Amino acid sequence: MGKTAALFLDRSLLILPFTATLTMIITIVICYLNDILNVQQTFSKTRYDRIDNILFVGVTILFPQILVIVIGRFRSLLENQSVINRINVYIIHVIVAIPLIGLLILAGTDKISGGHDWQMFSWVGVLISLYLYCILHTIYVFYLYIRERNAFQWSKIMGPIWFVVCTVPVIPCTIILEIYYSHIQPYFIFIFPVLYCLGFVYPFWLRAKARNRSSVVLGPLTFLNDPDQETLVNFPI
């Protein structure tokens, strides 16, 4: 039963990056269709309220998926690391949680006081935390890659490159959004951190493959440094 639960978790982590991406794509498409169908209502508050509502629903569905992915990734990042590296991982996740918690509190306060911006505060908090996570995680991944720590996960440079590709676009997009708000809608920016999570599929696949071949239930469970080798060594879940 224990191994079945562990296998279920590992295989869920394989699927969730794709379901999260699909969730965000559907949300963006619906928001965009509402935009072009109501283009004549350029300055209509109702139009923006409708888009905010759609985006809020999409982010609400997306959030638990991203949360499970981040938790799975968090546990992977703690594997076979020194005490200092583990402290760094904890610090990264605490920093990422600060804007999310702060803006959720602000959203709750706004809703209680009868305000109308609590939905916007909610998805903005999620967006800021996601991009903070992408930036800090990318820096940490390159640190591991350069130091050859936990090398089996970073032996292929495509992973770190993918993280950079999904992180860098937020800078020009944010500038364009601030200067030319009507030329780019904020919901488009959500796609980058969600695509970022697709970079976790390969490490998650390694874990699921190892779990399937091992009698270990919850760990320790690991591979040799060569990801193509199927020999298991100390690799905690």
Helix (H, G, I), strand (E, B) or coil at 148: coil
Lowest mean pLDDT among 115-124, 167-176, 184-193, 201-210: 167-176
How far apart, in whole angstroms, are the C-alpha atoms of residue 154 and residue 137?
13
Give the pLDDT confidence score for residue 45 in this predicted structure: 56
What pLDDT is recorded for position 189?
Answer: 80
Could you give the CA distance from residue 53 to residue 99 in angstroms, rounded to a whole number?
21
Predicted pLDDT of residue 233: 37
The phi and psi torsions of 218 (rounded to 5 degrees) equal -120, 0
Length of the chain: 237
Predicted structure pTM score: 0.78
* 45-77 vs 2-37: helix crossing angle, rounded to 10: 160
Per mean pLDDT, which range of 11-20, 80-89, 175-184, 212-221 is the poorest? 212-221
Long-range contacts of 230-236 (CB under 8 A, 24+ apart): 234/80, 235/79, 235/80, 235/207, 235/210, 236/75, 236/78, 236/79, 236/80
- DSSP label of 149: T
Which tens digits make up the pLDDT trace of 70-111? 998 998 888 767 788 889 899 999 999 998 888 888 888 887
Instruction: Answer yes or no: is pLDDT of 167 > 80.
Output: yes
Q: How far apart are CA 124 and CA 131, in angstroms?
A: 11
